[in-house]
Amino acid sequence: MRSDMIKKGLERTPHRALIKGTGVPQSELEKPFIGVATSFTDLIPGHVGMRDLERFIEKGVHTGGGYSFFFGIPGVCDGIAMGHKGMHYSLPTRELIADMVESIAEAHRLDGLVLLTNCDKITPGMLMAAARLDIPCIVVTAGPMLSGRGDGGRKYSFVTDTFEAMARYKAGVIDAKELQVCEDNACPGMGSCQGLFTANTMAILTETLGMSLPRCGTALAVSALKRRIAFASGEKIVELVKNNVTPRQIMTRAAFENAIRVDLALGGSSNTVLHLLAIARDAGVDLPLETFDILAKETPQLASMNPAGEHFMEDLDAAGGVAGVLKQLGDKIKDNPTVLGLSTLQIASSIANVDETVIRPVANPVKKEGGIAVLFGSIAPKGAVVKQSGVSAPMMRFEGTARCFNAEELAMAAIMEGRIKSGDVVVIRYEGPKGGPGMREMLAPTAAIMGMGLGDSVALITDGRFSGGTRGPCIGHISPEAADGGPIALVEDGDRILLDIPNRKLDLLVDEATLSARRAKWQAPEPKIKGGWLARYAKVVTSAHTGAITE
């Protein structure tokens, strides 16, 4: 075992003394040492219930014949960090989390890891570490939140009933009393936000990759099932250590293709593009950005999930969960190992019935193409990403007039003040991985556009990114970003921009001579943040089309 390096031999007497100093008995030194990386915090609804799951993971580890050690991992709530300086830190914490898990596992020679996670950047950060370390690992995602409930059985959800409700109030559609009702009911308790936002999408994809046990990706945070999954995961990690089953045996090219297809079939968050690219890199798997679009054209969207659709995570779980989606996708799914020991196809075949009102069959899809599309063109020569599952039919092809803003706050003010009109294309730039720095999410302006009733007449493009809660014609991840001198930096107010999702095009309708003249005058702006670790991050982070990784 790896842990023998710190607990066996005469020269490890000091090491054993320190281990015993933590309370470990002599009798336990022969057992596998299992690290439990926990992102418990009182700051995030998706994480407040983790103390309970930690107990069950610990019980499972000891039942399985291992000895557990807990260590903490930080978490940022994207919803709370939204719309101010805090959002600069969200995506960069993914790299910190991966580095921290790697550091603790290597420094203490842990034999295996249980990765307890839930929200947006924490799950991919832990998966990156698992792929990088390639020691036995299993992931436990803490589960989604129940939908809020109101009079007449109305269901409330975080994005629709806070961000979009705020804009509806501003537009005079709802009054202050209704806004307060939305605020009070949108988040009824523990768990990740109820729709297919980034946290829940990544939990589903973690299960699809084979890195967590069946139902883990959809079982509700408040359920006894989630406790049982936590216990079983603690048991299973000891078995994985004994059999030397490691993440790179599971996270293969086939596993990533399966994850992309499930993402497309559900219409998941566009952030998963960034995360799967980054995880694949650490797993040593070649996964070009174009893969998402190739698979999107042959993978139909099978579910209509909140925020762009009608169903919540509780509905998806009851309908069959991840296994149900795998079953419905049929021969589009490749067989691959999982931490359970059964293959993906065996897990899919174990589902007797799928609720086809929630997870439709391939022959009767919600849409013929998957939920994500990758666009290229004169604004985005290295690619851009749109959650096409959230775009209405009239906006799939749109030509509009550029309204340019060099920061999210400037665009948000223009939207809320009514300065954005039908036919406009809002351009938010210098918000990419380097320019942001940190590639901030644009949920506030996108939700404001929807709430102001402009979702079918205004588009938004950015070198930043979007929340999984974003819907409407919102194109992000534009590469190269403005801070690198990408074409989005050359757009001027009044330019015409063409968005053509069916033909995967995003073009600036300006002649090359004019662009060349603008390019000759362009100068990189001063960094928005000049101190702290984000200034260092900006110097080493790569473009969105590579997953916004650090080198």
CB atoms within 10 A of CB 477: 31
Q: Are residues 434 and 463 in contact, defined by beta-carbon separation less than 8 angstroms?
A: no
b/e code 13-48 from CB counts within 10 Å (16+ = b):
eebbeebeeeebeeeebebbbbbbbbbbbeebbbbb
Does 226 appear as a known binding residue?
A: no
Neighbours of 503 (CB within 10 A): 10
Burial track 385-412 (b if 16+ CB lie within 10 A, e otherwise): bbbbbbbeeebbebebebbbbbbbeebb
Residue pointed to by tokens 């050690």: 69
Asked if 534 contacts 489 with a C-beta cutoff of 8 angstroms, the reply is no
349 assigned to active site? no
d(CA 115, CA 140): 6
Residue with the two structure tokens 């096409």: 388
- What DSSP designation does 156 have? E
Q: How far apart are CA 433 and CA 438, in angstroms?
A: 5
120 annotated as ligand-binding: yes
Tell me, what amino acid is at 342?
L
Residues 6+ apart with CB under 8 A from 282: 98, 128, 129, 131, 132
| Two tokens, residue 214 | 């069946």
Task: Please state, in angstroms and rounded to a whole number, the distance separating the CA atoms of residues 340 and 352.
Answer: 19
Name residues whose C-beta falls within 8 Å of residue 354's C-beta, 6 or more positions apart in sequence.
Answer: 319, 320, 324, 327, 328
Closest alpha carbon to 262 in 306, 217, 228, 229: 217
Q: Which of 3, 192, 270, 467 is catalytic?
A: 467
Please count the helices (runs of H) and the strands (runs of E) in the chain: 21, 14
| Ramachandran bin of 172, using left for φ above 0, alpha for ψ from -120 to 50, beta for the remaining angles | left
φ, ψ for residue 311, nearest 5 deg: -95, 150
> Has 78 been labeled as part of a binding site?
yes
In angstroms, the CA 419 to CA 46 distance is 36
User: Binding residue per annotation — 315?
Assistant: no
Q: What is the DSSP string of 177-238?
A: HHHHHHHHHS--SSSB-SSSSHHHHHHHHHHHHTSS-TTTTTS-TT-HHHHHHHHHHHHHHH
CA distance linking residue 230 with residue 173, whole number of Å: 44
Known binding positions for Mg(2+): 78, 120-121, 441
> What amino acid positions are annotated as catalytic residues?
467
Known binding positions: 78, 120-121, 441
